[in-house]
């Protein structure tokens, strides 16, 4: 990315390079008058309905997030507002990989899809859009307990193990969501994309940590309810941004369950309404459930369990040693003793060593380009681990530069060679480098021999943590999975551009007043060239009704809309809801 706009927001400015790669410009000028009308309709509907059914902070949270009813939010305005509560926002191109999404949350930055849903998907879209991301997520962030949960979830999720199947499903979902937002999508292609998502969902094998965490994220951040089973309130962004499902989710046939760790067993389908929803009594319960799940994850369990997950992942992972050393690479194998404790680990391909998430000088993936291997555990006959040896104890053992030494591990592994250097920090020894080194296991099998070059041995008693990704992502220059499927950007024909102008003329009248009789000309053009439109007609009717002008024209438009609602069922609810808002106008002063 050539330039990076941090919006003068500290949270955005603090983003690391590997996350900045997903950021795209908002290009506010690309939003059409129809786009703004879609935003305005959804926001008015949301306010009208959600003021009674959303969790309390939603309505005042709109203002705190820098959102208004009248126009699509500008990222600078959002960042100015969010900075006051310690958050920021950036725009991205549709779905981004789950691991990256989680890490943005950990940095307290909202990820907002730059695009907005098409008019024909005004009630709901499976694709990420600016309505869902900003009007759904941002207002609830004003609640301190909730945004603490959100950022904590991100920090946990950023360490979750993910699998190749996760990426395959992500790619299929991204492709399907893009197709569903295309106005001229081929029906056969759409069916193939839906079938592919179903196939990959049904053939995930054992779900990864990331897959399970995504379920908890879905049933809380996206589709969560709070309060009681009898009278819950909405806080999930998926519900807050869907003017269809925010109503239907409260129907008795949608089962309401208490939110517990059991929610991790419920899969979800982003293309369909949810058959059940989970209710939390408070936001602290969300943290408690997350903590319960986190205690089962590799980054906390470590050991053989974590290494096994790392190998299954087939991605860059990091093993953290009790000495503080972090080994980042693709883990290929490990050995254990009779107690199932790791005694030897091996990576293949580029590997890096780090301490406190900072790469050790001279130990990047270019140096360890062919992998890394090392014994794990204590030396035979010693009560303390090697990492805790004092300077005097090291001399007695023979670990001095230029000295030849033989190290016998409790596992039976032996390391013999000439000490070249030692790396220590914070009172712990992390690495001993040997020349002319030989490493053998208990069966006398050679694990490393002198002809292979210098040997760097990790110093540690055990593997305390294993997580996905590199320890020092900036130095590792981790190749984060990024989709090659671009979102669809509509190219407008002359007829559509004319419709945009009609919407803009209505918008101008609403904002600046003037000759409301001119709206009759707009109505004539709509009838002549855009008879399928309903939203522009509704906006004209709203103006005429509120200004109490042109009653004959207003009656004609109302009759047209009533007939469209009667003859075309897909518009029935949208038009009737629009009539309701004309009769019960939103008090915008509360949210602008």
Q: How many CB atoms lie within 10 A of CB 126?
A: 22
Residue 493's φ and ψ, nearest 5 degrees, are -85, 175
| Local structure of 112: helix, strand or coil | strand
Helix (H) or strand (E) holding 39: helix 33-53
Residue 341 annotated as part of some ligand binding site: no
How many whole angstroms separate alpha carbon 219 and alpha carbon 142?
20
Asked if residue 151 lies in contact with residue 295, where contact means CB atoms within 8 angstroms, the answer is no
User: Which among 34, 32, 31, 30 has a CA at the least distance from the CA of 536?
Assistant: 34
Residue 312 annotated as part of some ligand binding site: no
Asked if residue 89 lies in contact with residue 8, where contact means CB atoms within 8 angstroms, the answer is no
How many whole angstroms separate alpha carbon 518 and alpha carbon 29?
26
How many whole angstroms separate alpha carbon 360 and alpha carbon 347?
17
Helix (H) or strand (E) holding 82: helix 75-82
How many whole angstroms separate alpha carbon 532 and alpha carbon 560?
11
| Local structure of 115: helix, strand or coil | coil
How many whole angstroms separate alpha carbon 81 and alpha carbon 385?
52
Q: Which residue has the tokens 């879209």?
A: 125
How many whole angstroms separate alpha carbon 431 and alpha carbon 427?
13
Residue 77 annotated as part of some ligand binding site: no
Binding-site entries = 132, 137, 222
Binding-site entries for Fe cation = 132, 137, 222
């Amino acid at each position: 990315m050539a330039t990076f706009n941090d919006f003068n927001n500290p949270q955005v400015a603090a983003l690391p390079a590997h996350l900045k790669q997903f950021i795209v410009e908002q290009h506010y000028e690309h939003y059409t008058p129809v786009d703004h009308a879609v935003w305005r309709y959804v926001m008015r509907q949301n306010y009208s309905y959600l003021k009674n059914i959303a969790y309390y902070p939603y309505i005042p949270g709109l203002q705190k997030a820098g959102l208004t009813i009248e126009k699509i939010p500008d990222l600078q305005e959002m960042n100015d507002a969010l900075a006051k509560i310690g958050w920021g926002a950036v725009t991205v191109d549709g779905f981004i990989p789950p691991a990256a999404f989680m890490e943005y949350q950990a940095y307290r930055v909202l990820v907002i899809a730059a695009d907005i849903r098409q008019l024909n998907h005004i009630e709901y879209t499976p694709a990420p859009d600016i309505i869902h991301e900003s009007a759904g997520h941002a207002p609830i962030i004003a609640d301190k307990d909730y945004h603490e949960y959100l950022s904590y979830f991100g920090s946990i999720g950023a360490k979750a193990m993910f699998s190749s199947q996760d990426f395959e499903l992500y790619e299929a979902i991204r492709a399907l969501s893009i197709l569903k937002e295309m106005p001229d999508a081929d029906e056969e292609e759409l069916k193939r994309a839906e079938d592919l998502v179903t196939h990959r969902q049904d053939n995930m094998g054992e779900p990864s940590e990331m897959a399970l965490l995504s379920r908890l994220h879905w049933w809380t951040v996206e589709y969560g309810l709070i309060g009681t089973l009898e009278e819950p309130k909405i806080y999930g962004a998926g519900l807050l941004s869907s003017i269809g499902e925010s109503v239907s989710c409260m129907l008795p046939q949608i089962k309401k369950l208490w939110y517990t760790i059991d929610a991790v067993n419920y899969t979800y389908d982003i293309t369909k309404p949810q058959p059940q929803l989970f209710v939390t009594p408070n936001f602290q319960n969300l943290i408690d459930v997350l903590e319960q799940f986190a205690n089962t994850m590799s980054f906390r369990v470590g050991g053989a369990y974590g290494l096994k997950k790392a190998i299954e992942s087939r991605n860059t992972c990091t093993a953290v040693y009790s000495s503080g050393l972090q080994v980042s690479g693709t883990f290929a194998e490990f050995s254990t003793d009779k107690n199932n404790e790791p005694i030897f680990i091996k990576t293949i391909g580029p590997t890096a060593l780090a301490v406190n998430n900072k790469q050790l000088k001279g130990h990047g993936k270019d140096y360890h380009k062919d992998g890394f291997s090392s014994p794990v555990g204590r030396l035979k006959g010693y009560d303390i681990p090697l990492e805790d040896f004092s300077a005097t104890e090291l001399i007695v053992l023979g670990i001095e530069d230029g000295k030849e030494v033989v190290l016998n591990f409790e596992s039976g592994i032996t390391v013999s060679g000439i000490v070249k250097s030692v790396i220590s920090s914070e009172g712990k020894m992390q690495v001993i480098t040997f020349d002319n080194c030989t490493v053998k296991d208990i069966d006398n099998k050679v694990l490393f021999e002198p002809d292979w070059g210098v040997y760097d041995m990790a110093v540690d008693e055990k593997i305390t943590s294993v997580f996905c990704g590199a320890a020092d992502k900036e130095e590792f220059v981790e190749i984060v999975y990024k989709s090659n499927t671009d979102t669809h950007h509509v190219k407008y024909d002359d007829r559509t551009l004319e419709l945009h102008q009609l919407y803009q003329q209505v918008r101008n009248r609403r904002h600046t007043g003037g000759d409301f009789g001119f709206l009759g000309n707009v109505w004539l053009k709509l009838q002549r060239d855009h008879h399928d439109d309903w939203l522009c007609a509704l906006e004209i009717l709203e103006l005429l009704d509120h200004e109490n002008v042109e009653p004959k024209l207003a009656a004609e438009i109302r009759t047209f809309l009533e007939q469209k609602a009667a003859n075309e069922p897909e518009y029935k609810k949208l038009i009737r809801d629009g009539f309701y808002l004309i009769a019960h106008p939103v008090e915008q002063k509360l949210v602008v």
